[in-house]
Structure 1
Amino acid sequence: MNQIKNDDESLKEKLSQNSHGLKDISFGVTMTIGEYIIADPISDYINKHPDINLKITFGNTSELLKKLSEGVIDFALVEGYFPKDDYETLLFSKEEFVPVCSAKHAFKKKPKMIKDLFSERILIREPGSGTRNILERALALNNYSTNDFRHFIQVENMHAIISLIEKDCGITFLYKAAVSSGLQSGSLKIIPLDDFRVEHDFTFIWPKDTVFSEEIRAICEEIHPNAR
């Protein structure tokens, strides 16, 4: 019933927009995707559709799921976990998730396994973020948790985490795409581990029972990097 109400409100808004020759699209992106991934495909979409008004919302995965259920946004591009039975989906990309530190960071002993990093200070995102969820699940597969690290700093901003890592304030686990510039410039380095190989999906999602499903899928397909 909640989705029917959301669709009804959205339909009234779209009909009103059409009478003025306009169209609004509201979607959400997680922090990593919004800051490091989406700019190029979105700019291409905007240039192809100059008459469309876009509302882009940033939030962690749990916040975006809530906004979807409330009808605040039409669809989302997320990196975290979500209940797959509740949503229509379209894979955007697969991204490598890696342990990272400053290029000048000196380990007391060269790490080879995850447990070798537990004496380090870890910088992590807040609970509910996709990055935090993926790290916690990857650790759990080896019967570890973030509590196994001796020290931690929780930061709710990706740029701040990367800046602190560049200043050698600890280690972190992030998508390779988010730290690509630091890796290329030589300020950051990946920590190679024998027991940590993680790839994760970036996925478009929208409510399964919305009447606008075909329209949303068409928009997502056009934003998709393969469409460029």
Structure 2
Amino acid sequence: MLDQKVTTFLAVIETGSYTAAAKQLHMTQPAVTQHIQKLEEYYGCRLFTQEGRAMRLTKDGEFFLHYTKMQQSNERQLVEKLIGNQRPLYIGSTLSIADYYLPPMLFSFLRKDNSGLNITVANTKILLESLLQGKLDAAFIEGIFDRKLFEAEVFCIAKFIPVVSKKHPLAGKKVELADLYEYPLILREQGSGTRAIFESYLAQQNDSVSSFRATWEVSSFVLIKHLLENTNAVSFMYEAVAEKEIATKKLEMLELHNYQVSHPLQFVYLKNNLDEDKLLHFYYECVGKNQ
């Protein structure tokens, strides 16, 4: 059972004030204040700052929030184990992995295991938050994550390539990054792993997406590829995402000078997870690896 002071901390996060938290928990406001003070004294840090009427988490408070969410997730797993509740695995995946990498991996697992399985597809940011909230057991992601909070297994190193229509004015040419700026750039939504990778690459060049003539934000790879085929736009994606269209000569990988970017695709789950053995069994069956 979570400590009542931790429950109070979470209520303050949810409601945004000591007063509202006290009402929700059927406590007095001084009691809520005392709970937060006790936590701060015990851990030797400030958890909140007051900005006008708004409560804001400090950096230590943000880390403590992640910790308490992990504890919530572990407590749920513990209760399920104690009562013998067999729940399906809740697995998340980013869009590019779900559509272009995951299917054969899942087939490998399902041929040997008929236990329940629930798959959620979302961007990296949403999946990581769902892991912290205990809504997911594990996720296949390509984005950036906090290694202090998550364990990870790399299942693939994927090439991240610039792609245009076969009829694009730059197709078949050796080009510089600056040559792309006069064309529209198609990006995934904020929070997606592929967008974070591309923006990180641009930052390393002391540049940003604002250098492009226009940006189109699209969350569907199918739509992105259709737009590429029929416009002069440019986009960046994993090689496997465009593999079929490149093979059928609808799209082409640009030859971009001094460009060579690849990124690990990873299976992640919370540290100190009570179901670690079960999750690793699922993962090893997916990738065909002996434990």
Q: State the TM-score, normalizing by the size of structure 1.
A: 0.91
Task: Return the letter of the residue paired with 2:229.
Answer: E
Task: Tell me which moved more, 149-158 or 95-104.
Answer: 149-158
The one-letter code sitting in structure 2 at the alignment partner of 1:34 is A
Q: After TM superposition, give the deviation of residue 169 of structure 1 in Å.
A: 4.6
From the superposition, tell whether residues 194 and 225 of structure 1 become closer, same or farther in structure 2 (CA, over 3 Å). farther
Across the aligned residues of Structure 1 and Structure 2, the Cα RMSD in angstroms comes to 1.9
Q: How many residues align?
A: 223
Match of 1:46 in 2: 110
Unmatched 5+ residue regions in structure 1? Answer: none
User: Once the two structures are superposed, what CA deviation does each residue of 1:171-223 show, in whole Å capped at 9, x if it has no partner?
Assistant: 10000010111011110100011122100000011011222223212221221
Give deviations 1:60-113, integer Å, cap 9, x for gaps.
000000000000000011011111121111111000000000111123994521
The sequence identity of aligned pairs, in percent, is 29
Kindly indicate whether the alpha-carbon contact (under 8 Å) linking 1:14 and 1:24 is maintained by their aligned counterparts in 2: no
Gaps of 5+ in 2: 1-67
- With over 3 angstroms needed to count, the CA separation of the structure-2 counterparts of 1:17 and 1:181, relative to structure 1, is farther
Q: Which of 197, 207, 226 pairs up with 2:260?
A: 197
Pair member with larger Rg: 2
- 8 Å CA contact 1:113–1:196 kept in 2: the answer is no
Aligned to 1:9: 76
Contact 1:101 / 1:191 at 8 angstroms: preserved in 2?
Answer: yes
1:126 is matched with: 189
SS in 2 for 1:48: coil
Where in structure 1 do 4 or more consecutive aligned residues deviate above 3 Å?
11-18, 107-111
- The answer to whether the 8 A contact 2:141-2:266 is kept is yes
Task: Identify which of 95, 98, 101 aligns with 1:31.
Answer: 95
Question: Greater RCO between the two (CA within 8 Å, min separation 6)?
Answer: 1
Offset of 1:151 from its aligned partner? 1.1
Distance verdict in 2 for CA 1:225–1:163, change over 3 Å: farther
Does the CA contact (< 8 Å) of 2:150 and 2:270 recur in 1? yes
Q: TM-score, normalised by structure 2?
A: 0.72
Residue matched to 2:160: 97
Map of 1:77-92 to 2, 5 A cutoff?
Answer: 77-92=140-155
Instruction: Give the Cα–Cα distance (whole angstroms) in 2 for the partners of residues 225 and 154 of structure 1.
Output: 36
